[in-house]
Structure 1
Amino acid sequence: MTAVAQSTVADIVRPRLGQVLWRSLLAAASGVLLYLSFAPRPLWWLAPVAFAGLGLTLHGRRFGAGCGYGFVFGLALFLPLLSWLQDFLGADFGPWPWLALSATLALYLAVVGGLITLVQGLPAAPVWSALIVIAAETPRAWFPLGGFPWGRVAFTQPEGAFVSLASVGGAPLVGFAVVLCGFGASALVRTLRRREGRLRPLLGPVAAVLVPVLAGLSVWTTVGTEAQAGTRTVAVVQGGAPDIGLALQGQRGLLRENHLAQTRRLRAEVDAGRVRKPDLVVWPESAASMPSDRERLDAMVDEAGASVLVGALERLPDGRVRNVVIAWEPGSGAGERYAKQQLVPFGEYVPARAIARLVTPFANGSDDVVPGDGRRAALPVAGVTVGVAVCYEVAYDYPGRDAVRGGAQLLTVPTNNAWYGRSEMSYQQLAMARLRAVEHGRSVVVAATSGVSAVIRPDGTVAASTSLFTPASLVEEVPLRSEVTLSDRLGAWPEYSMLGTAAAAVLAGLLRHRQRVVISRPGSIKPKPTR
């Protein structure tokens, strides 16, 4: 190769490498911004900024490059967001489960990045790009191993301008509004940089930015918080647990004793007149064992003189185990129960045990939990119908929706987060519960073994909460509501409509791309014959 040719190649390659590096850095920075918008930070407004950065990164790129930048964006999001897995597994297992899960979820965003490049040339491109982002969250809740919906865009919005939209279209609509606002801002920046001096090209991007914000603000007036079926005084018992990570395995007796002790302290507070006598007491997930603890729980509930929702691991007659929440009434004992349906892979059941032994401490010496039978999570207790979503289930749309359709006037989230140390996991889960409160128009009671426990109003605001790894009780009067939100009436239709529309947009983008390729081929357009 001659010196002139080498110089020419270098002149072409250097700018391209510089562009790749700049766009990769922008994609990574955008992913980090999206992570920073999640709890415990109240920075919900960073989420649209993150997608504005992603939109700038992907603009004008081809499919392969879009996949690459989407993957970088995904890794920059999920690696810090899921770092609590390290608190769970500890140093003995190394970083591989955390890295593998983060990379797997980032692959979804890699596909998103590639597909967005196909719709950029369509009219109203920010709309189709936003739909693709939210559509990818649907299969992520299905696959692999039952899915992992942690890190959905809507979960960045427990407060702020967009969360009210949950009452209309659930988490998918909230996420769509956030992403559309971000991609609209990206289009606006690009339009302004062209300095065309015309107003009309600005109208679409400005609408994409403003319409989601204005829609969210206007819907706030329809979010109801008043009691429609009276009120109940609800107590949350957080018995506490030692911050010992995996050493907590096998400490069921300690959890039970801690929660019995905290319930006695609550009773003493009531007897002293320092707090109101509760109508309903909520225990966390797996704070007891059944049937071995039945007699002690009977005595505890009778002494408390109040109905109690007890989270327990229940051994069935055939030896299998279920994760249940039991409605316990004074004098009559254990009543109806709900069994957790959405189990945590490698936590509550172990697929492919031979392989799983390499990555999870539960592969040896642990029983697979049996999922529930699909019964609606609505239990009659304390003269009210209470919905239940156990721990991980709060990340899924259907448990709360099914409970409300089953007549739930109040929602609860019993959870056991003691495994995850002082990480951000508990705060991320609390943000999901706040979104669910607005989505279903119900108060939500979060009862955690080690925190964060909370009582959440129907507008998503936190009435009271606890600290991590501190025994505590909360007593609050909550409104009972019977109105069914538009989101619950529509069910999964907004989600599936977005998925179908996104697929149609991608198909239109492919056809447009194919037509452009055909037209650009030499001789593909023949000159018209002259007469």
Structure 2
Amino acid sequence: MGCLSLRPSLRRALVLMATAFAMGLAFPRTDWEGIVWVALTPLIVDSLRQPIRQAFGWGWVFGTVFYLVLLRWLDFTFRTYSTIPWPLTWAVTLALAGYCALYVGAFAAAVSWLARRSIVGALCASPFLWVAGEWLRGHLFGGFPWGLLGYSQYLRLPVIQIAELTGVYGVSLVIVAVNAGIAGCFVLPWRPALGGVGLVGVVLGGTLAFGWWRLTAPAPPGEVNVAVMQPSIEQPLKFDPAFATTTVAIYLTLTSRAGADRPDLIVWPETAAPTPLRRDPELLRTLGALSGSLRVPLLVGSIDVDGSTPPKIRNAAFLLTERGIVGRYDKIQLVPFGEYVPLAGLIGFVRGWAEFIAELEPGSSASVFSGPPAPFGVVICYEGIFPELVREFVKGGARLIVNMTNDAWFGRTSGPWQHLAMYPFRAVEHRIAVVRAANTGVSAFIAPTGKIVRRVPLYERTTVAERVPLRTRVTLYSRLGDWLAYLALAVSGASLAYRAWKRAG
């Protein structure tokens, strides 16, 4: 009898873990993006049938497996740049995956609780519950909006065009709605199940129709020619004083090569200068003279150290011409456990575990460079995965977005490709071109439609240039921001509050 009682639990575990594993492969580099349209169905069906605690537990297991697969590239970073021995490096990834999985567990528990009163109501609420969880994960404790479900569709241009109305959360909502519609076929009588499928068909059909219509729109007028460089300098060499001369020589050679085609702007990657630029007068003079001779402004990433005591260190972008520095932006959204330690007074000891943990000072404002060649905003490293921050640059008048990053920490894993996959959504949300300069890759040019027009493979040392359009319009998302996420929070809260009220009554 014991074996017989274990079989349903074993079967449930196998199905949920297999679909969670498959959902992790929907993202780069495997890009099996079609899986997400059905992968959540078993979890939703199981949550509808299970008590709240069991639903939360299995939801957490599902989420942990999913995020372990998604974030598997982190093991390379900790194996290579930390003192943590393998296989304990996986404990860090497991801890992060377990935290992110709490939101999936909460989603499953909420679906289970709502289903106790109405299965139809639980199914209708599930897309909003999921989106509410994604938004909360992107904001609580500094936020970690990596792996939002919608990002899996970055190659499916007709699907992602609704992001100009709803942001990436709209794509996530449609995906979960499709899963909920399929789940309804397993738990509802045929008439309401058919009605649910019909409703989901209208939502999906409307999404695709809007996408195909928007893709036929003409490209906006006005273009600028932007060149980016990918120097492919290995992380251990970037700030090695013995390699500094070689590093500068690589950048100067690539800059001269890019300038031969007379672009309107040349972009270096994040923290490209091997020394703090403002504290290196010789390098500053060299770059000013090079900009003057090429007649092209240079956008250079550099660490900045001010004159305070103790000195404050920032991750900055500088715009240089023959007149020297004419503009700067300091990174606002710092990487937790990379550029600062949360709760440093309590867990500051972790700084000694890895060489990539720094203590930087955040910037205070989303400064838009007035040009040349046109007003543009710069997001440094993973700042671009925060939709609201990019929106601040657009509200400030940016007509072009530049992302400078250093993904050398991730090696040749799926990490750099997953990072790239989020930027097509920033392009669609504001109908703005995105130019990306990455130290070791993946450098890219992304059109306002979200199409990756051109990209450079990992660890290829080169320069590339492309003519990119300038933003000419204001989208609904530019005006209202995360309105859909706020609606999802409201619907989720109202659904749970109504359920609690009915239970109390």
Q: How does 1:87-486 map to 2 (within 5 A)?
A: 87-90=76-79, 92-93=83-84, 94-95=88-89, 96-120=91-115, 121-144=118-141, 146-160=142-156, 161-191=158-188, 196=190, 199=191, 201-222=193-214, 226-228=218-220, 230-242=222-234, 247-248=236-237, 250-251=239-240, 254=243, 257-258=246-247, 260-265=249-254, 267-268=256-257, 271=260, 276-288=261-273, 289-291=276-278, 292=280, 293-318=283-308, 319-329=311-321, 331-351=322-342, 352=344, 355-358=347-350, 361-362=353-354, 367-373=358-364, 375-486=365-476
Using the aligned pairs only, state the percent identity.
Answer: 29
Residues 166, 256 of structure 1: alpha-carbon distance in 2 compared, 3 angstrom cutoff: farther
Q: Write the distance in 2 (CA, Å) between the matches of 1:369 and 1:52.
A: 43
- Per the TM alignment, residue 143 of structure 1 is displaced from its structure 2 partner at its CA by 2.6
Q: Write the distance in 1 (CA, Å) between the matches of 2:255 and 2:160.
A: 34
Q: Write the distance in 2 (CA, Å) between the matches of 1:202 and 1:255.
A: 66
TM-score, structure 1 normalization? 0.86
What residue is the counterpart of 1:506 in the other structure? 496
- Per the TM alignment, residue 388 of structure 1 is displaced from its structure 2 partner at its CA by 1.5
Q: Secondary structure at the match of 1:312?
A: strand
What residue is the counterpart of 1:60 in the other structure? 49
Contact 2:219 2:469 (C-alpha < 8 Å) held by counterparts: yes
Contact 1:162 1:217 (C-alpha < 8 Å) held by counterparts: no
- Amino acid aligned to 1:340: K
Q: Write the distance in 1 (CA, Å) between the matches of 2:231 and 2:244.
A: 7
- Amino acid aligned to 1:382: P
Q: Write the distance in 1 (CA, Å) between the matches of 2:28 and 2:103.
A: 22
Contact 2:181 2:197 (C-alpha < 8 Å) held by counterparts: yes
Q: Write the distance in 1 (CA, Å) between the matches of 2:460 and 2:409.
A: 15
What residue is the counterpart of 1:40 in the other structure? 29
Q: Write the distance in 2 (CA, Å) between the matches of 1:252 and 1:46.
A: 47
Contact 2:162 2:210 (C-alpha < 8 Å) held by counterparts: no
How many equivalent residue pairs? 488
Contact 1:84 1:423 (C-alpha < 8 Å) held by counterparts: yes
- Per the TM alignment, residue 56 of structure 1 is displaced from its structure 2 partner at its CA by 2.4
Q: Write the distance in 2 (CA, Å) between the matches of 1:248 and 1:126.
A: 53
What residue is the counterpart of 1:524 in the other structure? none
What residue is the counterpart of 1:527 in the other structure? none
Residues 489, 360 of structure 1: alpha-carbon distance in 2 compared, 3 angstrom cutoff: farther
The partner residue of 2:19 within 30, 36, 39 is 30
CA RMSD of aligned residues (A): 2.5
Q: Write the distance in 2 (CA, Å) between the matches of 1:256 and 1:462.
A: 34
Residues 188, 277 of structure 1: alpha-carbon distance in 2 compared, 3 angstrom cutoff: farther
- Amino acid aligned to 1:215: T
Q: Write the distance in 1 (CA, Å) between the matches of 2:272 and 2:330.
A: 14
Segment drifting more, 116-125 vs 474-483: 116-125
Q: Write the distance in 1 (CA, Å) between the matches of 2:319 and 2:351.
A: 36
Structure index of larger Rg: 1
Contact 2:44 2:108 (C-alpha < 8 Å) held by counterparts: no
Residues 56, 169 of structure 1: alpha-carbon distance in 2 compared, 3 angstrom cutoff: same
Q: Secondary structure at the match of 1:167?
A: helix
Runs (5+) with no aligned partner, structure 1: 1-9, 516-531
Q: Secondary structure at the match of 1:17?
A: helix
Q: Write the distance in 2 (CA, Å) between the matches of 1:303 and 1:268.
A: 13
Residues 494, 360 of structure 1: alpha-carbon distance in 2 compared, 3 angstrom cutoff: farther
Q: Write the distance in 1 (CA, Å) between the matches of 2:291 and 2:382.
A: 27
Contact 1:89 1:361 (C-alpha < 8 Å) held by counterparts: no
- Amino acid aligned to 1:56: V
Segment drifting more, 55-64 vs 351-360: 351-360
Residues 20, 177 of structure 1: alpha-carbon distance in 2 compared, 3 angstrom cutoff: same
Q: Secondary structure at the match of 1:311?
A: strand
Q: Write the distance in 1 (CA, Å) between the matches of 2:358 and 2:37.
A: 43
Contact 2:298 2:319 (C-alpha < 8 Å) held by counterparts: yes
Segment drifting more, 129-138 vs 85-94: 85-94
Segment drifting more, 202-211 vs 413-422: 202-211
- Per the TM alignment, residue 42 of structure 1 is displaced from its structure 2 partner at its CA by 3.3
- Per the TM alignment, residue 26 of structure 1 is displaced from its structure 2 partner at its CA by 1.9
Q: Write the distance in 2 (CA, Å) between the matches of 1:80 and 1:252.
A: 37
Contact 2:114 2:121 (C-alpha < 8 Å) held by counterparts: no
Q: Write the distance in 2 (CA, Å) between the matches of 1:467 and 1:116.
A: 42
Structure 1, residues 476-509: CA drift from partner, whole Å, max 9, x if none? 1111122011111111322112111111112223
- Per the TM alignment, residue 300 of structure 1 is displaced from its structure 2 partner at its CA by 3.1
Structure 1, residues 295-317: CA drift from partner, whole Å, max 9, x if none? 23223322332112111111111
Segment drifting more, 262-271 vs 340-349: 262-271
Q: Secondary structure at the match of 2:38?
A: helix
- Per the TM alignment, residue 225 of structure 1 is displaced from its structure 2 partner at its CA by 6.5
